[in-house]
């Protein structure tokens, strides 16, 4: 390197003293222009320059700032002489003033290329390593170290392929380290690629290696170049692994910081845009929520929870997922009517008028509601009862709930439970779930904005259950007056008072309601309607409504009682009035068509007109006259849709005395047939029956409508009468029905569903009914006007039944 080149490069050096130098910018010279290290004249005695943080290798040029007095004097004397100085490393870089024992034994003879006096009084020198030496003896310590040295000869670089592979590998490893190290200029890799002298390459890479001073000293002390190359490769591998790890960590950290900075920058921009448009809408929304909360009347616990939620919301950014979760939760708390109640109407007479106007009959329920109102009026406060209306479909259970709400001046909400199979629908989901909502109870309360509505729990007997929980069990807390003042919703995460809500459940079959839930309900049975009741309902409600729905409100025509009775008896068989409503709708459609075509309608409809409109009668009471033959008896059955008529047919055939049962009968009904047969067999003499019949004849009992499942004990008397009729050949009296359970002792036991069964018999045109004497009280509860024309026979034993039922030949 020329003198001018050296001067030019000094400006680019990071100059540090030998006391604190940890990374040295190394300037390689063109190794082709170097003197042969073995040909350099090395004096026998030389001045020593101790270095604290680096090791100088032959052929390498480096700048250092000399600061210690001894070192400055040694450099000055050497520069004035042959410009050679012995550079040697300290064993411990922390020693400020080294002694002989602190110095290494192997160093490098260096030529001082340039010496510069710095403005601060220090001296900077540029030195180039020439040849390694070993200290034989220290000849002087004052004013600086002098030593007798022995030159260490450099061996020739091997020419074999193995060593060439070492050299190539060193270049690749060093280039990779340069690539991964941001503090080393990329030009260094170009310089590396252009070094051809293997010995100089090893010295150059060793000087720049970011490793411990002791490792560098070991490299310098090794005499064999192959061993030096091998150790250098190990150190380079270690350095490369460290550089890769450091680069990975740095890249990851930078990526995270860049992402955060980018988000912060965008958020700041968004904030500025919102301010320009008129303020941050989220802050505005939070302020509005706080304003609403101040005017809200709610418990202290709810107020405290809301306060904490708002504080949490203010600390969150709107873009975070939890923001909407917290916001929706607070919004629910604000929407709930915590201590907001509607005022009840305590005018009992007006309430009774409202109930009577909306629904005909149902006196038992109306009395119960009026009793509740009376207690409220006297006491001012009481826990609401949990009522359950049980009855067949179409009799107005659900609409009655709305009528009750109107009568007492409360808001009305209906909750359909049919098919519900998830407990969370009642208690709500935890708010951390995606799509979480409060339970249906709180949603309904939120909707009506009142904490004391009339809440209809429709079809409570049709609640399902599966692996997601049992809603019936969740309803236990809702429908228990002792617990529902502190109902816990999972979404709300606190208790809510439901004790002022008037819950009214509806069901078709209370047997399907879970026993624990059934225990909490005040069951009120609603029976089906008699023909007379249906006629009144049709005149008061159904006909006017259907007229209005079909645009015939102002069209004068009448439907007489006789016509209504025909529609009810010949075209419907139901406990409620839904089918009747549909038949009336058919009539109104016909009338509307007539009005549209001919611009007039008949002033009143006759029975013949009804047949023209609705077709031939669907049901006929003549069936009970035709069916009057030996072995056939008429029973009464109860179904969840009301009462029904049941034929029981018995036939004898030659055989071995076997009993055959058909008609889709349940176990209880089969057992009733076996009991009836056994009773007759054991009392054959009493009833003058041939005992051989039971041995030589097969008895087949069939109940028509085989597709419909049938069960229960109430057909016991009917089965026994049918068997006795078949064996004796005596016919059962016409227009006679019966119901009751039997025992082997011949006693008749009471059964349920008497009102539905009696009304079914009345609809079917039957005139006599045989019942157990204990069911007389049930008949007395039925309005006598509805059962006019029916004769009741109350019996205690089967003997009485047979006397009443069988005709004398």
Catalytically active residues are 714, 757
Sequence-ordered list of residues with C-beta below 8 angstroms from that of 399, at least 6 positions apart, any chain = 358, 359
Phi first, then psi, for residue 5 (nearest 5°) are -60, -40
Write a three-state SS string for 65-117: EECCHHHHHHHHHHHHCCCEEEEEEECCCCCCCCCHHHECCEEEEEEEEEEEE
CA–CA distance, 207 with 24 (Å, rounded to integer): 8
CA–CA distance, 438 with 425 (Å, rounded to integer): 8
DSSP letter (8 states) at residue 556:
-
CA–CA distance, 322 with 436 (Å, rounded to integer): 13
637 - beta bridge partners? 644
H-state helical runs in 487-530: 515-520
- Please give the C-alpha separations between residue 735 and each of 139, 651, 770, 779, 797, in angstroms, as whole numbers: 147, 21, 11, 19, 21
CA–CA distance, 313 with 302 (Å, rounded to integer): 16
DSSP letter (8 states) at residue 710:
B
Helix (H, G, I), strand (E, B) or coil at 475: helix
H-state helical runs in 222-358: 225-277, 281-295, 300-315, 321-335, 348-358
Phi first, then psi, for residue 109 (nearest 5°) are -75, 130
Identify whether the C-beta of residue 427 lies closer than 8 Å to the C-beta of residue 489: yes
Q: Which two tokens stand for residue 137?
A: 């003896």
CA–CA distance, 580 with 596 (Å, rounded to integer): 24
Gyration radius of the chain's alpha carbons: 54
Identify whether the C-beta of residue 624 lies closer than 8 Å to the C-beta of residue 764: yes
Taking the alpha carbons at both ends of the chain, their separation in whole angstroms is 149
DSSP letter (8 states) at residue 158:
P
Using CA of residue 493, residue 497, residue 502, residue 504, what is the dihedral sign?
A: positive
CA–CA distance, 444 with 383 (Å, rounded to integer): 20
Identify whether the C-beta of residue 645 lies closer than 8 Å to the C-beta of residue 764: yes
In the chain, helix, strand, coil percent, each to 5?
A: 45, 20, 35
């Amino acid at each position: 390197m020329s003198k001018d080149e050296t001067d030019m490069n000094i400006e680019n050096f990071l100059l540090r003293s030998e006391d604190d130098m940890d990374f040295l910018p190394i300037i390689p010279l063109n190794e082709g222009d170097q003197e042969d290290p073995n040909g350099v004249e090395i004096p026998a005695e030389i001045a020593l320059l101790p270095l604290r943080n680096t090791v100088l290798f032959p052929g390498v040029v480096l700048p250092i700032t000399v600061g210690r007095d001894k070192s400055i004097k040694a450099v000055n004397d050497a520069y004035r002489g042959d410009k050679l100085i012995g550079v040697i490393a300290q064993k411990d870089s922390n020693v400020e003033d080294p002694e002989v024992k602190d110095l290494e034994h192997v160093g490098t003879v260096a030529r001082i290329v340039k010496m510069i006096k710095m403005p601060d009084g220090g001296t900077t020198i540029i030195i180039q390593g020439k040849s390694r030496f070993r200290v034989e003896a220290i000849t002087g310590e004052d004013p600086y170290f002098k030593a007798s040295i022995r030159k260490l000869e450099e061996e020739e670089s091997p020419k074999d392929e193995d060593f060439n592979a070492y050299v190539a590998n060193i270049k690749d490893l060093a280039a990779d380290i340069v690539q991964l190290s941001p503090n080393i200029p990329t030009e260094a890799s170009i310089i590396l690629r252009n070094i051809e002298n293997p010995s100089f390459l090893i010295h150059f890479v060793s000087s720049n290696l970011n490793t411990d001073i002791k490792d560098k000293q070991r490299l310098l002390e090794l005499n064999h170049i192959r061993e030096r190359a091998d150790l250098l490769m190990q150190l380079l591998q270690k350095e490369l692994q460290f550089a890769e790890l450091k680069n990975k960590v740095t890249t990851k950290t930078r990526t995270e910081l860049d992402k955060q900075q980018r988000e912060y920058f965008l958020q700041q921009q968004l904030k500025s845009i919102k301010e320009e448009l008129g303020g941050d809408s989220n802050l505005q929304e939070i302020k509005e929520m706080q304003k609403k909360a101040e005017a809200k009347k709610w418990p202290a616990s709810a107020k405290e929870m809301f306060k904490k939620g708002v504080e949490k919301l203010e600390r969150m950014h709107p873009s975070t997922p939890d923001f909407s979760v917290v916001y929706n939760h607070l919004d629910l708390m604000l929407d709930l009517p915590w201590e907001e109640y509607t005022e009840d109407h305590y005018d009992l007479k007006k309430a009774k008028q409202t109930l009577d106007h909306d629904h005909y009959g149902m006196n038992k329920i109306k009395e119960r509601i009026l009793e509740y109102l009376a207690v409220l009026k006297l006491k001012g406060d009481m826990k609401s009862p949990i009522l359950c209306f049980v009855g067949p479909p179409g009799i107005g259970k659900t609409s009655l709930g709305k009528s009750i709400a109107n009568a007492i001046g409360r808001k009305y909400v209906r909750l359909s439970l049919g098919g519900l199979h998830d407990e969370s629908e009642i208690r709500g989901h935890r708010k951390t779930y995606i799509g979480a909502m409060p339970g249906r109870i709180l949603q309904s309360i939120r909707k009506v904005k009142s904490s004391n509505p009339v809440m209809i729990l429709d079809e409570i007997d049709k609640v399902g259950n599966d692996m997601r929980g049992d809603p019936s069990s969740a309803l236990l807390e809702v429908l228990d007056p002792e617990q529902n003042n502190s109902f816990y919703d999972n979404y709300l995460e606190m208790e809510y008072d439901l004790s002022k809500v008037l819950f009214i459940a509806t069901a078709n079959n209370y047997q399907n309601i879970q026993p624990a839930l059934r225990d909490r309900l005040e069951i009120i049975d609603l029976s089906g309607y008699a023909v007379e009741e249906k006629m009144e309902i049709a005149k008061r409600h159904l006909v006017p409504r259907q007229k209005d729905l079909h645009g015939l409100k102002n069209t004068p025509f009448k439907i007489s009682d006789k016509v209504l009775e025909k529609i009810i008896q010949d075209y419907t068989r139901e406990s409620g009035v839904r089918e009747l409503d549909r038949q009336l709708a058919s009539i109104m459609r016909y009338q509307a068509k007539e009005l549209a075509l001919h611009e007039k309608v008949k002033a009143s409809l006759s029975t013949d007109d009804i047949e023209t409109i609705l077709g031939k009668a669907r049901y006929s009471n003549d069936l009970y006259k035709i069916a009057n033959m030996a072995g056939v008896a008429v029973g009464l059955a109860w179904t969840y849709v009301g009462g029904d008529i049941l034929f029981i047919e018995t036939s004898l055939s030659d055989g071995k005395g076997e009993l055959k049962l058909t008609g889709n009968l349940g176990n209880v009904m089969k057992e009733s047939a076996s009991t009836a047969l056994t009773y007759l067999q054991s009392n054959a003499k009493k009833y003058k029956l041939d005992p051989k019949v039971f041995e030589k004849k097969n008895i087949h009992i069939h109940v028509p409508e085989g597709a419909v499942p049938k069960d229960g004990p109430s057909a016991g008397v009917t089965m026994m009468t049918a068997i006795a009729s078949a064996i004796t050949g005596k016919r059962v009296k016409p227009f006679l029905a019966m119901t009751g359970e039997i025992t082997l002792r011949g006693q008749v036991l009471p059964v349920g569903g008497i009102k539905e069964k009696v009304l079914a018999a009345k609809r079917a045109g039957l005139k006599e009914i045989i019942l157990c004497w204990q069911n007389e009280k049930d008949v007395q509860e039925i309005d006598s006007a509805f059962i006019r024309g029916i004769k009741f026979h109350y019996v205690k034993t089967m003997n009485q039944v047979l006397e009443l039922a069988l005709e004398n030949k």
